[in-house]
């Protein structure tokens, strides 16, 4: 075989690998987060090929595997390809190790959530590791805005214009379970109390009857980026004790996440 034909074969293989790698990167960026097996199904590539290319993309700094689940996300380096998913990925990369660091102090499960389309989406969680969790497989789960502490925290601390857009969207969706929480006086009281306390509360069985939760906002340079929540079994602890024992810790975690983000 001549050198020219060898170079042609090498170049062709390199172009094919590059094309496949870019297809994977585009898919991850489009989805925001995705499992390697789902990438293989969507792209039609063999799983071993997907894993190999993901490893290469991770080494180059374009994607990262979640610290608490099997999901893959784009990194800030790939921000030019995306529409905001890179910022979420950056937060997730910071949060996963922090959750592990706080595991000795906070045995109840913790969630990192971000807002998307009238819901809070769980991005990182310790449900799978917490011995006190009654839920599993929560990564990617959509939480309602008005009936969860994460949603209430986001609603209370987001800009007024965004809050109105979110509430209008919820009204259009017309979920009967949201009806009681759309009453103006209830909303005004919720927002006022949550802002004054700095922590949102769900403790009346309005989402999961057996559990209650606290949530705090993650804010950086004037932007609301997501929320950190703690979930506990209602029969094991009242809200006052939860606020006393874990309120400061939640705010500390949120502040550390915000402080670790590149300026």
**pLDDT at position 5, please?**
40
Please give the pLDDT value at position 198. 98
Q: If you average pLDDT over every residue of the chain, what do you get?
A: 88
Computed from CA positions of residues 162, 85, 87, 119, in that sequence, does the dihedral angle turn out positive or negative? positive
- pTM, entire model: 0.71
Give the architecture-level CATH label for domain 102-260.
Answer: 2-Layer Sandwich (3.30)
**Residue 217: pLDDT over 90:** yes
Task: Read off the pLDDT of residues 143-163 as tens digits, 9 standing for 90 and up.
Answer: 999 999 999 999 999 999 899
Question: Cβ(124)–Cβ(113) under 8 Å?
Answer: no
Flag whether pLDDT at 166 surpasses 80. yes
Q: How many CB atoms lie within 10 A of CB 85?
A: 21
Interval 18-55: pLDDT, tens: 889 888 988 888 787 889 999 999 999 999 999 999 99
Q: What is the pLDDT of residue 148?
A: 98
Where along the chain do the CATH 3.30.450.40 domains lie?
A: 102-260
Consecutive H or E run containing 10: helix 3-31
Please identify which residue in the block is written with the tokens 């925001």: 32
Share of the chain above pLDDT 70, in %: 89
| CATH 1.10.10.10-classified regions of the chain | 3-81
The arrangement of secondary structure in 3-81, i.e. its CATH architecture, is Orthogonal Bundle (1.10)
């Amino acid at each position: 075989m001549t050198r020219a034909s060898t170079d042609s074969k090498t170049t062709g293989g390199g172009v094919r690998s590059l094309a496949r790698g870019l297809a994977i990167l585009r898919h991850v960026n489009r989805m925001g987060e995705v499992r390697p097996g789902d990438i293989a199904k969507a792209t039609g590539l063999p799983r071993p090929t997907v894993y190999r290319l993901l490893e290469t993309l991770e080494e180059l700094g374009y994607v990262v595997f979640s610290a608490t689940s099997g999901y893959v996300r784009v990194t800030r380096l790939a921000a030019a390809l995306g529409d905001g998913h890179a910022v979420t990925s950056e937060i997730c990369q910071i949060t996963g190790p922090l959750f592990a660091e706080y595991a000795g102090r906070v045995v109840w499960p913790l969630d990192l959530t971000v807002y998307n389309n009238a819901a809070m989406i769980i991005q990182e969680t310790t449900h799978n590791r917490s011995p006190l969790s009654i839920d599993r497989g929560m990564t990617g789960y959509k939480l309602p805005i008005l009936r969860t502490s994460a949603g209430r925290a986001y609603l209370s601390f987001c800009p007024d214009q965004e809050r109105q857009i979110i509430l209008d969207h919820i009204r259009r969706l017309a979920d009967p379970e949201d009806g009681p929480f759309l009453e103006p006086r209830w909303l005004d009281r919720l927002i006022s109390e949550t802002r004054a306390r700095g922590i949102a509360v769900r403790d009346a069985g309005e989402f999961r009857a057996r559990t209650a939760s606290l949530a705090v906002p993650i804010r950086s340079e004037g932007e609301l980026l997501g929320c950190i929540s703690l979930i506990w079994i209602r029969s094991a602890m009242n809200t006052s004790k939860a606020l006393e024992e874990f309120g400061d810790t939640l705010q500390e975690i949120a502040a550390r996440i915000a402080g670790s983000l590149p300026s």
